Structure 1
Amino acid sequence: MSEIDRAALLAALPYARRFARALSGTQNEGDAIVAEALREGVRPVPGPDGARLSLFAGVARVIGARPEEASGALSRTERMLLLLTSLEELDSAMAAAVLGLDPDSAEAMLASARERLRSASTARVLIIEDEPIIAMDLQQLVESAGHDVVGVAASEDEAVAIAESERPSLVLADVNLGQGGDGATAVERILARHAAPVIFVTAYPERLLTGSRVEPAFVITKPFEPTMLAVATYQAVTRGLPIGTG
């Protein structure tokens, strides 16, 4: 770890936390995986983004040393490849290098995994978003990924009311609801009465991934591609674990 610039390592930590949390399904387990990777020693990876890639590789080593759990239609390696290429926006060659895979094999594995995403899991989704046009775009993306939208809420109170009546299996929440309140507070109120995994959507993911408080397990960045949403949704639903928010 001493060979990696400390400032670069600290800047990369939120993204390592996001990757590990999305893999494990919870904030606590994900952050513990990152801490274990740091204790074991992060091996430097050359390049301008070397610190982030080094942390991803460390997380993958910790995860890879554990028995694989049967969880959904995709293997652990497929999940890691999908998360690295969609959520963390690495190209397939970089993701293969992080996981120690042959690039051609990784590309074939990715193609197969993407084909199975749509039919792997179907969720009943509550969208919390105060901007009407963005909400419509989110609904279209969610439905195009094969999921059902049970309601779209523009405020905290509306979100809580829809969750109470529809009992969604997944909540997709913006953080800032303008005059309608706060997305994190809406989620807290929902989770107090109904357990469901939550994906937060934000333009500033690093602000939700400091590791210093109770934070979400699933975070995606605005703007995002349909594949990113599909992967995050699949991972949240198949891990099947609700989160705390702050």
Structure 2
Amino acid sequence: MEQYTGHFMQHLPYLRRYARALTGTNGRGDALVTRTLEWYLEADEVEDGKSDLSRGLLYRHLNKLQDEEGLPPSIAPYHPVESALATLDELDRRLYLLVNLEDLPVGDAAAVLDLPPEEAMERLNHARERVRARLTATILIVEDDAIIAYDLAETVRGMGHIVCGNAATMDEALALAAEHRPTLALMDIRLADGDNGLEVARELRARRFLPVIFVTAFPDDLAKHGLEHLGPVIPKPFTRDQIEQAITRAVFMPQPEDARETAQPH
């Protein structure tokens, strides 16, 4: 029995990693691994002296136990990769985890999931594209200073996100937002032609919910007008680290329920 336990222990780090990702929590994942160990030690293959059960077979049993529990995976709302994976069909999510997290060849992962290799490859490519798209934000920059706008755009692109355009006025901002439906706006407050970024943000919120980060030399303007709820503020001059951290928080922050319910498109 000791040699069989030792054989299982060789796979333990991989099984725990996969089970935790499969269930979304450390506790539930470890419980599945414990039950898999119990199953392994009682399996006919072990009783017959066959201790060479593959890791793939153990992954398969973890999937079976998860299905029997009937509980959906727990998703950390602030974890960008988990949030992206949550948009996948469960079969595709498991395929993605087996290949990208566990480093299984696509053929081996297909066998774990009872998929034809060709279908597995097609599903994997689709899943990778979905995850890539989910992790890529489309960002609108509303800034009338060309140098600052350029710096912000370079920071956004350096993070792997897309800049859908730069607007210097309210009309330009609303037109770009309607055309590209961005995921986030970086907004100056005092714009060209006397326009005000606070009004732009309010209009965007009225049309549809859009997270806004204010990047401004006048950070007190929101408080003066009681509009702190419109978004966080980064005072000028700013650092790239400040912009990157704010973008990461905003892009992967779950939408407030009241925003989904009340923001009505025109």
Tell me the TM-score range normalised by the shorter chain: 0.3 to 0.5
Query: Where is the helix percentage greater, Structure 1 or Structure 2?
Result: 2
User: If the length of structure 1 is used for normalisation, what is the TM-score?
Assistant: 0.48
Larger radius of gyration: 2
User: If the length of structure 2 is used for normalisation, what is the TM-score?
Assistant: 0.44
Higher relative contact order (CA 8 A, sep 6+): 1
